[in-house]
């Protein structure tokens, strides 16, 4: 038995009129004339043998029969959209990445556009983890495929590949620096409010600067480097910052560097061997480590979209 379905262009007009309660606005959305929309609605009403809209002054409303048809049409369109999404994304392979929020925000996200242009069939899921242990636990539990971590985990269970070296040095807001009269030597920092994060102790930097001291225990302690830098921008103290995380603030003049002394910090891509054996995971890790991760300015990304 042959099934006769209504014309798709008439159904599109029907949905837009129902949404906007206006033939004129529906016509504008569909880039046709109001007369064309009216003809399509009439053709649909003729097909179903019932009135779908009631006209009331300057607006239109669905009749009970129209409500029934709209429910059926929206259900069918939803099923069609779901099928389309499966067709479009069913071939995508996903790499789940556990990474510190500050690093993701200030380094990784700015560069992902370049990866997607090279690897259109790989999707990256980012989970911002604050604690180092949480990153490694997510690998062990199978919740993540790759962790981006400062330093090696100290366990032979993981594969580690160096992806980035950065420098670490003290920063503060210009106003805070100006308020610190007599800040002439690194040892003078011990008299200031030192902002701290558990993963980045101050003592190694002081040692590099020739200052013998214990690990400072005064000053606010933060669980996340991004929060610590936000506090420094607001003039609440001096932060020991990684250049990769503080770059934007330094470029905008919200933070200034104190002294030329710096120490090194190394980021690694870490995974379990079974995850690293998957081609999509290996492709992502190789991209991280090969130096192709250039920072992408927002204006450049927008200009590509416009082409």
Same domain? 160 vs 287: yes
Tokens 């910052």, located at residue: 241
Return the SS3 of 6: coil
pLDDT at 298: 47
Q: What are phi and psi of 170, to 5 degrees?
A: -75, 145
- Residue 281 belongs to domain with CATH number: 3.40.190.10
**Could you tell me the mean pLDDT of each successive run of 10 residues in the chain, 307 residues long?**
76 89 89 93 92 83 90 79 63 86 89 89 83 77 90 84 95 94 89 91 96 92 91 96 94 95 95 93 93 54 42
- Residue 85 belongs to domain with CATH number: 1.10.10.10
Tally: H helices and E strands in the chain: 14, 11
Token pair belonging to 80 = 């069609």
Rounded to two decimals, the pTM is 0.65
CA dist., res. 198 & res. 240, Å (int): 11
Structural domain boundaries enclosing 116: 93-164+266-306
Same domain? 108 vs 227: no
Report yes or no on 209 lying in a domain.
Answer: yes
Return the SS3 of 69: helix
């Amino acid at each position: 038995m042959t099934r006769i379905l209504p014309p798709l262009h008439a159904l599109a007009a029907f949905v837009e009129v129902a949404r906007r309660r206006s033939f004129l606005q529906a016509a504008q959305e569909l880039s046709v004339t109001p007369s064309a929309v009216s003809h399509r609605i009439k053709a649909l009403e003729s097909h179903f043998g019932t009135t779908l809209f009631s006209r009331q002054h300057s607006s239109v409303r669905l009749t009970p029969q129209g409500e029934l048809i709209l429910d059926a049409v929206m259900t069918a369109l939803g099923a069609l959209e779901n099928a389309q999404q499966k067709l479009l994304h069913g071939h995508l392979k996903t790499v789940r990445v556990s990474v510190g929020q500050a690093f993701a925000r200030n380094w990784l996200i700015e560069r992902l556009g370049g990866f997607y242009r090279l690897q259109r069939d790989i999707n990256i899921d980012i989970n911002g983890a604050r604690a180092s242990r949480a990153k490694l636990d997510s690998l062990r539990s199978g919740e993540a495929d790759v962790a981006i971590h400062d330093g090696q985990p100290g366990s032979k269970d993981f594969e580690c590949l160096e992806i980035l070296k950065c420098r670490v040095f003290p920063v503060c807001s210009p106003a805070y620096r100006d308020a610190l009269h007599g800040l002439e030597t690194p040892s003078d920092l011990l008299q200031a409010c030192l902002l701290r994060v558990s993963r980045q102790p101050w003592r190694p930097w002081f040692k590099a600067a020739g200052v013998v001291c214990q690990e400072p225990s005064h000053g606010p302690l933060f669980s996340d480097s991004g929060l610590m830098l936000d506090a420094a921008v607001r003039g609440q103290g001096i932060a020991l910052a990684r250049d990769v995380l503080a770059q934007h603030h330094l470029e905008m003049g919200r933070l200034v560097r104190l002294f030329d002394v710096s120490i090194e910090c190394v980021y690694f891509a870490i995974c379990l061997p079974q995850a690293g054996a998957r081609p999509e995971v290996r492709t992502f890790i190789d991209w991280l480590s090969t130096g192709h991760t250039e920072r992408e300015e927002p204006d450049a990304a927008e200009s590509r979209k416009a082409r």
